[in-house]
Structure 1
Amino acid sequence: MDTVTGKTLLITGAAMGMGKLYARLAAAERAKTLVLWDINAAELEKTAAELRASGCTVLAQVVDVSRADAIAAAAAQARASAGTPDILINNAGIIRGKYFWEHDVQKDIEMTMAINALAPMYIAREFLPDMIAGRGSERRIVNVSSAASLVANPRMSVYCASKWSCTGWSDSLRLELKQAGHTHIKVLTVCPTYISTGMFDGAKPMLLTPLMTPQYVVDRVWRAMKAGRGRLILPWTVYLSNALKGLLPLALYDWLADHVFGIYHSMDDFRDSKR
């Protein structure tokens, strides 16, 4: 896929941050239609107005992706108004940074699992049958997971659980589509470390792992998506951490992650921002 010109994209968490950057890239490449989902109505309308001014057709929908019924209703409206998306970017996510026993069951645990783990599945399930049927064109699903789906971390237990779920499902979906012969659909699983979006306010950079800028990550994801890659892990130190985790005794790996790489203290000063 050399360009998204003439294609329809659906992006969640599109009002601000990285979701907005994906939408800008799509508009710059003259996408046919942008379907933007976000729960923040005011910011969503600002983003939609900006993109419409660039000449792009935009359907902005206020959607609470933590609710399956809201996803189903929004998907039905999107299908009726914009058709089947050629590219689906599951970008929406939240973080609750605290020890597990400090989490509220409904506000923290259920909400995190609903948005980070279940919503990408529900959204993909809404559109996949029609995406599969449309064999005439290349299609993409991008699931923004996290390096936390590969490396455990204190004060991130529920977030890690949600992203481990997302990565496992996303990578399995990639294999299922390939095995079933639906090779026109490529699934990209994205696993970045901390990004300076404000979502991880106060998180400490780890050894050899600087805080990445949103534009840097979005540009890398965009290229990987169009190339049809299956996984994007950023930066290279995540590969190193996983290699060491597989090779070393657990006690030795824990010591290195704690005292050398600084992984286990990266969330010590995190400032939680409620959704």
Structure 2
Amino acid sequence: MEAIWDTSLTLGKLLYYFLDSSVYKIIPKRKKNVAGEIVLITGAGSGIGRQTAIIFASLGATVVLWGINEEDNMETCRLAKEKGGVKVFAYKCDCSNRQEIYRVADQVKKEVGDVTILINNAGIVVGKLFLDIPDEMVEKSFLVNVLSHFWTYKAFLPAMIKANHGHLVCISSAAGLFGIGGLTEYSSTKFAAFGLTEALLFELKMINKSKINTTIVCPLFVNTGMFDGVTIKYPFLLPLLEQEYVAQKIVNAVLEEQNYLIIPKRVWFLVILKQLLSVSMTSVLVKFFGVDTCMDLFRERMKAKEAVTETKKKHQN
């Protein structure tokens, strides 16, 4: 009898939430007001981080910028204030260093207040073939792209749980949905970041903290310096995304409390295909879309940069 009641209750809840989500597909969900919220963005010195900071500042949020490059971070601060940001704070923070994350987090809490929207955006990419990746760069990638999420969540989540109010945003990647050759270290970290935030989403529901939202963002390649040289075989099918467009989508996802944001939406189709097709069939599609060669020019440019760096070191010695 208990099993029948439990099953009926579960089916009823599933129907309710299905109808609830269907309504919001037709009628846009009312966007929440972020004026007065304290938004912390890691990797805010450039790219998506900078553009996201500018938009949140224009919406009246208090914006906290974390970046390893102090000059770039201050430029983001200037641009955010130009767009109407009244309260914008810049902090130098190396997100590969756990102790530094905790130290700067304490500083933010004392000087600005409890963070209510946390956007883990900081990331690095090596982009070499697996056997060519130096061991230290594998470790650095995991420190920045994954472990920094653990430490920032641990630093700021307790206050969110106490207030039952907050929002965690994980900038993952389409490379966190399916592995991409030539991006083994990057795909690994983005899968891990996705898994961490998704598991945390269900853990927060488990402890009845439903007012703390999570958003996992999985964009395709974004036109920033991070992926300089990446080429797309058929841009009309899988476009190289502009950072301003992606940043606006991220802000909208936070305002609408979306749990998942995959950009462009057609990537959903590729994720489903991956589950249905054999590896050989998937490989054929990978070649068709040019995913197998998209990193070639990127690697060539990286080799050129490394050669220039080595030459400079020799001259200095």
TM-score above 0.5, yes or no: yes
Give 2:289's aligned residue: 261
Deviations 1:92-118 (A, max 9, x none): 111110111111111x10111110011
1:38-77 map, 5 Å = 38-52=67-81, 54-77=84-107
CA contact (8 A) 2:178 2:271 kept: yes
CA contact (8 A) 2:58 2:85 kept: no
Give 2:240's aligned residue: 211
Deviations 1:128-176 (A, max 9, x none): 01111013xx421111000001111111001111101001111111111
Note the C-alpha offset of 1:206.
4.6
Give 1:173's aligned residue: 200
- For residues 30 and 254 of structure 1, what CA distance do their matches in structure 2 show? 47
Give 1:36's aligned residue: 65
CA contact (8 A) 2:219 2:262 kept: yes
Select which of 74, 95, 109 maps to 2:125.
Answer: 95
- For residues 161 and 117 of structure 1, what CA distance do their matches in structure 2 show? 9
Give 2:218's aligned residue: 191
TM-score between both structures, scaled by the size of structure 2:
0.81
- For residues 282 and 76 of structure 2, what CA distance do their matches in structure 1 show? 44
Deviations 1:152-203 (A, max 9, x none): 1111001111101001111111111122111111010001110101211111
Deviations 1:9-62 (A, max 9, x none): 11111122111111111111111x211100001111222234345352222110
Note the C-alpha offset of 1:209.
0.5
Percent identical residues: 34
1:1-275 map, 5 Å = 1-31=31-61, 33-52=62-81, 54-106=84-136, 108-135=137-164, 138-207=165-234, 208-258=237-287, 260-270=288-298, 271-272=301-302
Note the C-alpha offset of 1:232.
0.6
Q: List alignment gaps of at least 5 residues for structure 2.
A: 1-30, 307-317
Structure with the bigger percentage of helix? 2
Amino acid at match of 1:163: K
- For residues 66 and 206 of structure 1, what CA distance do their matches in structure 2 show? 34
SS at match of 1:84: coil
Q: List alignment gaps of at least 5 residues for structure 1.
A: none
SS at match of 2:217: strand
Amino acid at match of 1:58: V
Deviations 1:202-248 (A, max 9, x none): 11125400101111111111111111111111112321221221111
TM-score between both structures, scaled by the size of structure 1:
0.93
Deviations 1:233-270 (A, max 9, x none): 11123212212211111111112212x12122211111
Structure with bigger RCO (C-alpha 8 Å, 6+ apart) = 1
- For residues 24 and 206 of structure 1, what CA distance do their matches in structure 2 show? 32
Q: What do you get for the CA RMSD once the two structures are aligned?
A: 1.5
CA 1:256 to 1:49, structure 2 compared with 1: closer, same or farther past 3 Å?
closer
Amino acid at match of 2:179: A
CA contact (8 A) 2:56 2:251 kept: no
- For residues 150 and 51 of structure 1, what CA distance do their matches in structure 2 show? 32
- For residues 41 and 251 of structure 2, what CA distance do their matches in structure 1 show? 13
SS at match of 2:226: coil
CA 1:62 to 1:241, structure 2 compared with 1: closer, same or farther past 3 Å?
same
SS at match of 1:264: coil
Amino acid at match of 2:148: A
